[in-house]
Structure 1
């Protein structure tokens, strides 16, 4: 079985399990996710590989992390993610990037990210569901955190926490790369 086949089977199995556990009909999940009923059926029957955007919409509608939807591991409660298995989610030609290091359900989605933001680069995000919290620790450089239009300077060695229910962004106004770690938790009940 190829990696793509394994991913397709894992997504099909996990989507059906999470949808059933939440008590959502196909129509209810489609409405919550803004995805067609037919697409959900195709995913659950392992007949398609949806885009990252579609997968994120479905994960958000179910109140689970992308990791929970794509996870093919079944067994012990401890999961080690080797460096080569972390998922690169965003990158630019200048060298900025984000990597999903690991995620869990606690009791909603809980994710740990590694960020590198090159000088002059910016990454923005729409508002997340109310109750979503982001924790940031800057290891190198100086981050400009923008939350609901207000700018906050987070120097190397400092940390920040905020409820991400407003639009927000991460900017590097300095001359050196910003390295930071971010944890995100999304409430289960939205």
Structure 2
């Protein structure tokens, strides 16, 4: 079984588990996540590999981290992610990519990401649930962070923190590759 097969199977199993634990029907989760009922069925039956955006919407609607949805197993108290074992979630032909470095579920989902944006590339994000915060630290290049249509320049060595309940995007308007680390804190579902 390939890594992608493991990921698809884990996502199917974990989505079904978390949906049932939350008491959400297929229609209920579809409405909360803004994803079609058919897509959720396909994911739960391991018949599709959803986009990062779809996975984020479902995780947000369930109040769990993407890491929780993708976990192969619910393992030990300490999880070590070996170099090269981070989950690549998004990439472009130009070489931009994001990797989910680590995440935790308590008290609410908390995720740690590694980002690389090649010159001219960008990535947009739908709003997350109210109370979701993102912290980022730029380690190379200059990031253009767009929050609620307002642009913010974050230089190499700089950091930013913001509530991610509005539309936001990450852009590389420069000639140098942007690299950054980002943490996302999502409030628990009530």
How many correspondences in the alignment?
189
- Classify 1:3/1:154 alpha carbon distance in 2 versus 1 (closer, same or farther; 3 Å): closer
Instruction: Report if aligned partners of 2:142, 2:153 keep a CA contact under 8 Å in 1.
Output: yes
Identify the residue that residue 111 of structure 1 maps to in structure 2: 111
Identify the residue that residue 165 of structure 2 maps to in structure 1: 165
Identify the residue that residue 182 of structure 2 maps to in structure 1: 182
Q: Post-superposition shift, 1:47?
A: 5.4
Name the stretch that deviates more: 114-123 or 1-10: 1-10
CA deviation vs aligned residue, 1:77-126 (integer Å, no higher than 9, x gap): 11111222212222222222211111221322211111112223222222
Instruction: Report if aligned partners of 2:8, 2:49 keep a CA contact under 8 Å in 1.
Output: no
Aligned residue runs from structure 1 range 50-65, under 5 A: 50-52=49-51, 53-65=53-65
The answer for unaligned runs of 5 or more in structure 2 is none
The answer for unaligned runs of 5 or more in structure 1 is none
Aligned residue runs from structure 1 range 31-70, under 5 A: 31-35=31-35, 37=37, 40=40, 43-44=43-44, 46=45, 48-52=47-51, 53-70=53-70
- Classify 1:58/1:175 alpha carbon distance in 2 versus 1 (closer, same or farther; 3 Å): closer
Aligned residue runs from structure 1 range 146-157, under 5 A: 146-157=146-157
- Classify 1:42/1:140 alpha carbon distance in 2 versus 1 (closer, same or farther; 3 Å): closer
Answer with 1 or 2: which has the greater Rg.
Answer: 1
Q: Post-superposition shift, 1:41?
A: 5.2
CA distance in 1, matches of 2:40, 2:123: 30
Q: Post-superposition shift, 1:136?
A: 0.6
- Classify 1:30/1:84 alpha carbon distance in 2 versus 1 (closer, same or farther; 3 Å): same
Identify the residue that residue 140 of structure 2 maps to in structure 1: 140
Give the alignment's Cα RMSD to 1 decimal.
Answer: 2.5
Q: Post-superposition shift, 1:35?
A: 4.5
| TM-score, length basis structure 2 | 0.83
CA distance in 2, matches of 1:4, 1:139: 29
Q: Post-superposition shift, 1:7?
A: 3.7
Question: Secondary structure at 1:84's aligned position in 2?
Answer: coil
